[in-house]
């Protein structure tokens, strides 16, 4: 924890091709060793394949898939007396997307 106070959360810029923050997050998670151009090529090529085979907008397909796999609750350990219980806690949207 820094001594100078809380660190501000950085804003992720949207993807330049599809103008979507969710696609930019996917590219950043896929990126290895700072090779963002390689990660972008992989994502854009896969979106082209989705567009050809599914005949649908790849952004809509991707957003729907992320929404379907996003968990709504997570369990956190809470200690009551001598026992530890797993208590379900509702997840916010950003954390759910990160886990998905």
Superfamily the domain 21-99 falls into = Ribosomal protein S7/S5 (1.10.455.10)
pLDDT tens track for 63-95: 999 999 988 999 999 998 899 999 999 988 888
What is the pLDDT confidence band of residue 97, given thresholds at 50, 70 and 90? confident
| CA 20 – CA 13 distance, rounded (Å) | 8
Report pLDDT for 1: 65
pLDDT tens track for 16-64: 999 999 999 999 999 988 899 999 999 999 999 999 998 899 999 999 9
């Amino acid at each position: 924890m820094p001594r100078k106070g809380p660190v501000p959360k950085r804003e992720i810029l949207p993807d330049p091709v599809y103008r979507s923050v969710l696609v930019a997050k996917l590219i950043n998670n896929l990126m290895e060793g700072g090779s963002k151009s390689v990660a972008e090529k992989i994502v854009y090529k896969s979106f082209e394949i989705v567009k050809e085979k599914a005949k649908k907008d790849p952004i809509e397909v991707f957003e729907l898939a992320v929404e379907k796999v996003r968990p709504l609750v997570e369990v956190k350990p809470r200690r009551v007396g001598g026992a530890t219980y797993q208590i379900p806690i509702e997840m916010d949207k950003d954390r759910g997307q990160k886990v998905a």
